[in-house]
Amino acid sequence: MSHIQNKIEEIKATLPKECRLIAVSKFHPSESIQEAYDAGQRIFGESRVQELVSKQAELPKDIEWHFIGHLQTNKVKQVVAIADTIHSIDSPKLLAEVERFALKAERKIKCFLQIHIAQEDTKFGFDFKECRELLESEFFSSLKSVEIVGLMGMATYTDDREMIKSEFHSLSSFFNELRETLMKDKPGFCELSMGMSDDYKLAVEEGSTYVRIGSTIFGVRQ
């Protein structure tokens, strides 16, 4: 087994069965993705549209592509043509564009609402209030080609484990609150996307169902 394959096995062995691994392959070549694929990995995460498009063209067609990066509305069409799931819906406007192009393409796209939980201003996303407002809106009820499957969040980039844990905990609590209230009759709202290389174990402890792991598998990005 190659290094990449060993890492995937190692990580999977530590994940509870309800938590799936997204291998974040951004900035790494298609050959590395193929190695991971050969070890049985099928879910890959990309954060740049051009990379997603060119890799999808040359890799096996049963790969499930998850778009995880900030997405500009003028690139939605390309992502909707390829991605199974978008983790980074950070505005109603972006969601409306995904719906529009998914309708046109006759595709169903699963989406996560990205919630701002970190202390940094640089991270995109809704706050809790904006998220509730969206889920209460008529626009949300009118969505046909988009299914909101859950919430995504990124913790502050810090060594302070307690801080990371409390940010994941707050996202997880908010998610559970929504499942019991606004999303009560939406069984498809059941996923929590949180945890990266440095903090996925904490995320799993707080109930993550999708971890997005890049550098631990593929090495440091250039």
Ligand X SMILES: *Cc1c(COP(=O)(O)O)cnc(C)c1O
Which residues are near ligand X by CB under 6 A?
24, 26, 47, 68-69, 196-198, 212-216
> Which of residues 125 and 207 has its CB atom nearest to ligand X in the complex?
125
3-state secondary structure of 111: strand
Q: Provide the minimum distance between the beta carbon of 212 and ligand X in the complex, in angstroms, as a whole number.
A: 4
Of 219, 218, 200, residue with least CA distance to 14: 200
> Which of residues 3 and 184 has its CB atom nearest to ligand X in the complex?
3
Residues 6+ apart with CB under 8 A from 138: none
> Which of residues 78 and 145 has its CB atom nearest to ligand X in the complex?
78
Q: Provide the minimum distance between the beta carbon of 218 and ligand X in the complex, in angstroms, as a whole number.
A: 8
Report the residue number whose CB is nearest to ligand X.
214
Copy the structure tokens of residue 197. 């290389």
> Which of residues 140 and 157 has its CB atom nearest to ligand X in the complex?
157
3-state secondary structure of 38: helix
Q: Provide the minimum distance between the beta carbon of 149 and ligand X in the complex, in angstroms, as a whole number.
A: 16
Q: With beta carbons less than 8 A apart as the criterion, state whether 47 and 212 touch.
A: no
> Given CA atoms 202, 120, 48, 192 in this order, what sign does their dihedral have?
positive
